[in-house]
A and B are shown apart, each in its own frame.
Chain A
Amino acid sequence: MTASARQALRLSGISKSYGNVRALSNLSFDVPEGRFFVLFGPSSVGKTTALRTIAGLVPTDSGRLEIFGSDMTTAPIAGRGVSMVFQSFALYPHLTVYENFAYPLREEKVAREEIDRRVKETAAMLKLTPRLERKPGTLSGGEQQRVALGRSLIRRPKILLLDEPLTNLDAKLRHDMRAELKRLHRQLGMTIVYATPDELEALSMGEEIAVMRDGAVVQRGTPDELYEQPLDTYVAGKIGSPHMNMIKATVSADMASFETPLGKLKTSRKVKTGTAGEAALLGIRPSDLKIAAKGEHAIASTIHLIEPLGDVTVVSVDAGGETLRMVLPEASATAMKPGDALPVAIDTTKIHIFRAASGQAMT
């Protein structure tokens, strides 16, 4: 992650429309070599189109695509050194696992003995050796996923594109595969661009995340940066679970206190661009709310929903007409029941301030 790392991938101002539907709009980002880079956003935000553009499956309307410094905007698919794992796995159903692995090598005219060696090596790496003579249709979902991964890795691509590769797996398998993918990334060190609508996958796997909206990148950064300093309410709402509480507020003259339905709140962050009396939204992470200790400044609230999640419990409270979600340790929530009064304290150092009109951060 040094600053001198080569750029594996650079997209500048790429746009793509399907008829009247704009899939990518002025999409720009770059990915340093060796990075595990996540494209994150809800479905139909342009993630898949972005990956297909990089692979060369979709011609762009405008913009420029560079792979390791050379212009690949209109280059043929084969020469790009890019491979891709599809959400549907897209295995060749009429070929055995062995032949699925061998296919990209045969297309590259690799010698027979070399193909055999690499197929067996890949199968061993993905624990698929006993399955080599089977057809994909007879494999479990997790095995099919590993075959898809192996077929993409066997060519030793410079860049690996993964399009929601875990979406079709069940929850347990998804967890295992997350660890497996991180291990493979560490072991093989290639550049990975990973598209996912799943926040957990994005945060747990991405070294760097680009949050997408309407075919463009809204904010990019490390998981911590996105969590600590979301640039707008869209990113703030997408990153972090349960979602950030948003409270309507009015900026006071000192640019650090706010009139809210919860009373007057003073934050340690200051509004940088704004005027007194302007409408704002205060974002408070559920984990930054806690039960007020005696003597601490507290907001009176009433519990209305309790969701135990095992080690933690999500408690929703009503305060001043707003609903706040807070995450409490399981032990401190066992005695609670809906209707109880609960004094809540806010960690005012962690409050995020957004402009109500645009949703942009004001700090």
Chain B
Amino acid sequence: MSSSASFMERLGFRKASGVGEAGWGRTLFVAVIAFIYFIPVLFIIFTAIKPQNLALSVPPTLSPTSFFGLIPDQYVFSPTLENFGSVFSRSMTTGGAPEDTGFDRYFFNSIFISSVSVGLALIIGTLAAFGFSRYPLKGNDTYLFIILTTRMLPAIVVIIPIILMFRTVGLSGSYIGIILLYTAFNLAFTIWMMKSFFDELSLDVEDAARIDGSSEVKVFFKICLPQVVAGLAATFVFGLILTWNEFLFALLLSGADTRTVPVAMNQAVSSGGRGTDWTLLAAIETLFLIPVFLVTFFLQNHLLRGVTFGTVKR
């Protein structure tokens, strides 16, 4: 044990002694592990900028640059942005004129449908969560459990009755239909998340606001809500990721005009009988990553920050 301990120390591992910044050794070790997890994403991004004919080449081309000679030339490809162009416009038949693929519409659909439905779920769910937290019903926990059960069944189990219901009331293929569905789909998660954030708040702070002359509505908007901004951000991001990636409901309930990117992606690569166009698929996927990446990136401070930390002694 002693020899392995000294080996670890030579690598830069420090003995555990309270909390401190990790040494270079540890940081490097974690970076390597993180890189291994990142390889699939990197592979997709590199495939997206590969010339189409190199997608399935043997040996595979691995990198757009040789990293100063680190990677032998035979594994290096010259990057291109052509694939991104073909996402939106390409010829559908060999030698035919480029046609509009409709992907601009599908990207708009994905952004519109997921942000509106997650936003709606956040508004309704936050109000409901506040109610469950502050004005509990008789059998409050039972209601909460019932709400959670809506997320226990896989989509495939409930999809047939939902399709029939949507057909009957004429919601199939409409924006309002898929938005309502995703809103309901996100509500359970939102209510549970936000309730736990509201439960954490000090009731004394709300009473202090009441004594300072605030109405119940003001207590909610001016005192409670600002304290759970981190919770709102986290719930929004998680809901957005779930909705953004959802495939099955979108496949069966969206129409030609309301199709979302996951559905369109599936149809773009599997139609035409010419085999799968891997570089095109990778380009769509890369574009598909960007919006969620940006939202998460800009909300990361809120995701990490606990705004109420240390202000209330219990």
Could you tell me which A residues sit within 8 Å of B by CB distance?
Answer: 52, 55-57, 77-78, 82-84, 86-95, 103-104, 107-108, 135-138, 141, 144, 151, 155, 168
Contact = CB atoms under 8 A, between A and B. Distances in A.
Which bracket fits the contact residues of B? 20 to 34
B124 to A, nearest CB: 23
A91 B311 contact: yes
Contacts of A93: 205, 227, 307-308, 311-312
Contacts of A87: 204
A82 B309 CA distance: 29
9 contacts: A57-B210, A57-B211, A88-B202, A88-B314, A90-B202, A92-B205, A93-B312, A135-B311, A144-B311
A86 B213 contact: no
Contact of A88 (B204, B214, B309): B204
A104 B309 CA distance: 23
B147 interface: no
Interface of B: 202, 204-205, 207-214, 218, 223, 226-227, 229, 307-314
B313 A141 contact: yes
Contacts of A57: 207, 210-211
A104 B312 contact: no
A151 B212 contact: yes
A87 B205 CA distance: 11
Given A104-B213, A108-B213, A141-B313, A90 B226 contact: no
Nearest to A77: B210
Contact of B227 (A55, A90, A94, A155): A94
Contact of A86 (B204, B226, B309, B311): B204
> Interface centre among B307, B311, B314, by most A CB within 10 Å?
B311
B309 A90 contact: no
Nearest to A107: B213
A151 B214 CA distance: 14
B215 to A, nearest CB: 8
A158 to B, nearest CB: 13
Contacts of B312: 88-91, 93
A86 B310 CA distance: 16
Given A86-B204, A168-B313, A92 B307 contact: no
B212 A155 contact: yes
B307 A90 contact: no
A104 B227 contact: no
